[in-house]
A and B are shown apart, each in its own frame.
Chain A
Amino acid sequence: MEITKPALAGTLESSDCQVTVEPGDGKIDFALESAVINQYGNQIRKVVMETLNNLGINNVKIAIVDKGALDCTIKARVEGAVSRATDHFENNLWGGTGK
């Protein structure tokens, strides 16, 4: 999938994270701001990279402001932002065979 426009998902509430994506320059640019970066920075990056990989995204600038989100929230927010940036809301990311 190709990121065609900037998009954002998530909030700055506790336990959430805000993910911004915009068209990349040929690679994945990853930026993270988090109060738990020391303990979970590597884990967060791993989850983000896996999620992008699953979505087939390899050309994006992605910036995350994390407020202590769990992995499931990080995945959801990355998918949400990518979905908005690709106008692909109906895509069945849960792996279904529906429409």
Chain B
Amino acid sequence: MNPNKKRLRRTMMFLNAQKPGLVKDPYIYNPDSIMLDLEDAVAENQKDVARFSLFHALKEIDYRGCERVVRINGLDTAYWKEDIRCAVAGGCDAIRIPKTESPEEVRAVEAEIAIAEKDFNIPVGRTLIMAAIESARGVMKALDVCESSERLFGIALSGGDYTKDLQTRITGTGVELMGARQNMIIAARAAKVQCFDTVFTDLDNMEGFRKEVETIHLMGFDGKSIVNPRQIPVVHDIFTPTQKDIIFAEKVVKEIEEKREKGIGVFTVDGKMIDIAFYDGAKRTIELAKASGVYKGEL
């Protein structure tokens, strides 16, 4: 498995791939991932040249560890295949498919990626996939999409298009997104892939943004799409485990590793019943703590 499939993705910052001022150094804001957009952000009359900007940005800018995801144009356009070739040739980390509604679409993208990887001498399997769900049908097909490809690391809700399809709108309360969020996180967890929430576009409403992030964090989401760097520290703050959680997780990991050698399956930590099922969660807490810069232990 591509080791990057499970990497930390609390924040994915959207950037128009052909705006040099945006693309040159988004890493200073420390997003976990950036998404270089060839789709909606690029005007129709710039589609012909946007790939040149994308290609050279991918080739020449050192994104200092930020994951570089490229959003391609929809599979119903004339652009998507060349988008993939350009992104793979540039060495992107993942392709984001817009408006995904079926596993076949993911597999079509996967096939193009495979050809491009071969053509451009990129190790086969290096380029991952994420699928954006933007319709009622997409939500209903979420589990199939999640299980469609070994390259797929996660699915993301795109709230704007989804609510239009539902014949409602973004209200700020989250009520219109409730079903999609629930369905998608459950599907993603069932398929053991990641799940990302939609953007929050009201930039001045930082309090509303914080509340929304708190909600999706508790729902189990792995991260959120970001449209302005100001939103990044808020997400990272909410996704940072508390010291209490970290200390407990550290004990759990150590105890499980120690007890496993002794053949003990069930035991207690701080009075709580613990077994192997706690291991992954505890490890994830430690990883999050490390990424957030609040863990200095030896794990």
* Residues of chain A having any CB pair with chain B under 8 Å: 9, 13-16, 69-73, 75-77, 79-80, 83-84, 89-90, 92-98
With known contacts A72-B61, A95-B120, A98-B85, A80–B52 Cβ distance under 8 A: yes
Give the number of A-B contacts (CB < 8 Å).
74
Within 8 A of A (CB), among B201-222: none
Given contacts A80-B53, A94-B85, could you give 20 more A-B pairs where the C-beta distance is less than 8 Å? A14-B21, A15-B20, A16-B19, A70-B61, A72-B53, A72-B61, A73-B20, A73-B24, A76-B55, A79-B49, A79-B52, A80-B49, A83-B48, A90-B82, A94-B55, A94-B86, A96-B89, A96-B116, A97-B119, A98-B119
Within 8 Å of chain A (Cβ to Cβ): is B90?
yes
Within 8 Å of chain A (Cβ to Cβ): is B251?
no
With known contacts A80-B49, A84-B48, A94–B20 Cβ distance under 8 A: no
Q: In the bound complex, do residue A15 and residue B24 qualify as a contact, i.e. CB atoms below 8 Å apart?
A: yes
The interface on chain B, measured as residues whose beta carbon lies within 8 A of the other chain's beta carbons, has a size of 24
Q: In the bound complex, do residue B116 and residue A70 qualify as a contact, i.e. CB atoms below 8 Å apart?
A: no
Cβ–Cβ < 8 Å partners of B89 in chain A: 94-96
Within 8 Å of chain A (Cβ to Cβ): is B56?
yes
Q: In the bound complex, do residue A16 and residue B21 qualify as a contact, i.e. CB atoms below 8 Å apart?
A: yes
With known contacts A94-B89, A94-B90, A97-B119, A76–B56 Cβ distance under 8 A: yes
A3 to B53, CA, bound (A): 21
Q: Which 9 A-B pairs have the closest CB atoms?
A: A80-B49, A94-B89, A72-B56, A76-B52, A72-B60, A15-B21, A76-B53, A73-B20, A15-B20
Within 8 Å of chain A (Cβ to Cβ): is B57?
yes
A84 to B86, CA, bound (A): 17
Q: In the bound complex, do residue B85 and residue A13 qualify as a contact, i.e. CB atoms below 8 Å apart?
A: no
A94 to B203, CA, bound (A): 37
Q: In the bound complex, do residue B120 and residue A96 qualify as a contact, i.e. CB atoms below 8 Å apart?
A: yes
Interface of B is mostly: helix
A69 to B61, CA, bound (A): 13
With known contacts A13-B19, A13-B21, A16-B21, A73–B48 Cβ distance under 8 A: no
Interface CB pairs A-B, < 8 A, 8: A13-B20, A70-B20, A70-B24, A76-B56, A77-B52, A79-B49, A83-B49, A96-B119
* Residues of chain B having any CB pair with chain A under 8 Å: 18-21, 24, 48-49, 52-53, 55-57, 59-61, 82, 85-86, 89-90, 115-116, 119-120
Cβ–Cβ < 8 Å partners of B120 in chain A: 94-96
Cβ–Cβ < 8 Å partners of B18 in chain A: 76
Cβ–Cβ < 8 Å partners of B55 in chain A: 76, 93-94
Cβ–Cβ < 8 Å partners of A89 in chain B: 48
> Quick one: closest A residue to B60, CB to CB?
A72
Q: In the bound complex, do residue B119 and residue A9 qualify as a contact, i.e. CB atoms below 8 Å apart?
A: no
Give min CB distance, A81 to chain B, whole Å: 8
Give min CB distance, B195 to chain A, whole Å: 32
> Quick one: closest A residue to B78, CB to CB?
A90
Give min CB distance, A44 to chain B, whole Å: 14
Q: Of the candidates B20, B52, B56, B90, which one forms a contact with A83 in the assembled complex, judged by CB atoms under 8 Å apart?
A: B52
